Amino acid sequence: MALPIIFPASPAEGDIFKAPSDVNYQWDGYKWTTRLTVRNNSLGGNPGPNPPDNAVLGDFWFNTDDGQLYIMIDMGTGVNGWEKTSTINVKFMGDLP
Distance, CA of 15 to CA of 77 (rounded, Å): 36
pTM: 0.48
- Cβ-based neighbour number of residue 36 at 10 Å: 22
Cβ neighbours for 18, distance < 8 A, ≥ 6 positions apart: 24, 25
* Residues of the chain predicted below pLDDT 70: 1-3, 21-22, 35-44, 87-97
Q: In which order are the strands placed within the sheet that holds 60-63?
A: 60-63, 68-74, 80-84
Supply the pLDDT for residue 41. 47
